[in-house]
Every structure is written in C-alpha cells, then in structure tokens.
Amino acid sequence: MKSHIKTAEIILSALPYIQKFRGQVFVIKYGGAAQTDEGLKSDFARDIVLLQLVGIKVVIVHGGGKKINSLLDKLNIESHFEDGLRVTNKDTMEVVEMALSGLINKEITSLLVAHGARAVGISGKDDGLLRASAFNLEKYGFVGKIDEVNEAVINALLKEDIIPVIAPIALGANATSYNINADLAASAIAAKLKASKAIFLSDIKGVLDKNGELISKLDEAKIAELKNDGTISGGMIPKLEASLECIKAGAKAVHIIDGRVAHSLLLEIFTDEGIGSVIR
C-alpha cells in the first residue's frame, strides 16, 4: 500500500507543472546518445507522448551527426569540423540532406507515431520554414546561417495537435540547400515562436564548472564570466550564445539537460529540482 501511495504522490507532484505548461510551446532539440541508444529512444518517444497528452505543444528539431558520419564513411567521403561546425562541400551536403531529411527524420517520426503521438516529419526547406545564406562559404562550405523563420507551417501543425519533427536543412537562394547546426536551428525556431521553453538534450549533465559540477542556473553575466575564464569552450560556446539570443528574442527559458538519463525530459520539466542547467 505504501508504494501505491508513493506513486500517487509522485504523480500529484507533477500537477502544478502540468497546469502551468498546458497550451504552451516547448521546442526540443533531440540528439546525442538519446537519439542512438534504443532504450533512450523509446523513453524519449514516451516522454513526448506524455507531454502531448497533457496539452504541451511540442516542436522537435533533431541532429544526426553519428548517422551522417557513418554514411560518409561508407561512401568514402572525408569530413571534418571547424569551430564545432561540419565543413560541408557539395558531396557532403547531399549526404547530410539524405541522412537528416530522409533516414533520421522519418525514423523519429515513425517512433513517435508508433508510441501513440501524432507527428509529421518535415525539413526546414518545406514551405520555406528556414531560409538561410552561407555562413562563410570559403571556410565552411554549405553551412548556413538562418536569415528567416517562417513559422506558418509549424503553427498549422500545432493547431491540429500534430508534433512537427524538423530536420535542420534550410533553403537558400536558387534552391540551394544549407546544413544548419541543430542547436542554432532549435534556438531560432524557439525564438520565433516565443516558446515557453527550449530544451537541448546533450551528452553531458549540463553546463559544468571547472570542478565538473553542474551549474544549475545561468544568465548573460554568468555566461560571459565562464567564457572569459575558459570554463566553457568548444561546442558549448555556440550553444550558450544561441541560448542567449533565444531568450532575448522572447523565449522564456532554455534548458540544457543530459539526454543519457532515462526520462530526462520529465525530470527537468515536472520536478522542482530539475536535472540540468537553465538559462534565463
């Protein structure tokens, strides 16, 4: 009997958050181990179904670096990174688009539907959702910076209680395809939608201090301090810069959480303590 009471208490503890977030938009960037481990993939899908059932409007933006690497290796196409961005020539771009818009996007959509969600897979090219230009053509190739987010297709899907699953491929001039960093795409979309939350699933606990301990709350001043003293570096810098831009554009909060933890989304959203870093 005690275990049943404890279960009821856990469920009831989530009630204030369910009431608070019902009808609000969450943009979730899905990648890392949560996207490749079979158990975590199933946990993620069930978490998303629950969020949808309690009335949260979910938008998913996904990456797919490991699948892209695997396909490039099979095709003997060399690839490397500069400043955390995949240098993308024409051959690489074809593989990136095939992997993201085709294989990965449809796999995620199918998984969500199989678990009971309503979901539709699209890319940033559909209905001109993401329009972009070259970030630095000579240095990075077909890596794009987002110039415009056309949220109409997202809002149309959300109005019908359908989860948009978005591959971060953008449309450029002359129908050129651009590879967009998934973190930046999620941030731009969350900013345009003025989302209640943007949530990044990563392969670390969150933002860590020099002792490897989690920093649970950050703001612009704290992030500047961590950059200046070298505490944060590499790929975390563009993630946090994108997070700040997202907040300034109207999103209420950005969360960076450990996607390797089962049901990390629910633990972050529906508990007082959360498990990751929050930028406000």
- Provide the annotated binding site for substrate: 64-65, 86, 179
Torsion angle, CA of 82/146/33/212, rounded to 10 degrees?
70
CB count within 10 Å of CB 259 equals 27
Beta strands in the chain (DSSP E): 25-30, 57-62, 81-82, 85-86, 119-123, 130-134, 144-149, 163-167, 169-171, 177-179, 197-202, 217-218, 254-258, 277-279
Asked if 124 and 170 count as a contact pair (C-beta separation under 8 A), the reply is yes
DSSP state, residue 88: B
Sign (positive or negative) of CA dihedral 134, 137, 142, 143: negative
Tell me the binding residues. Answer: 64-65, 86, 179
On whether the CB atoms of residues 146 and 185 are closer than 8 A, the answer is: yes
How many Å apart are CA 108 and CA 37, to the nearest integer? 13
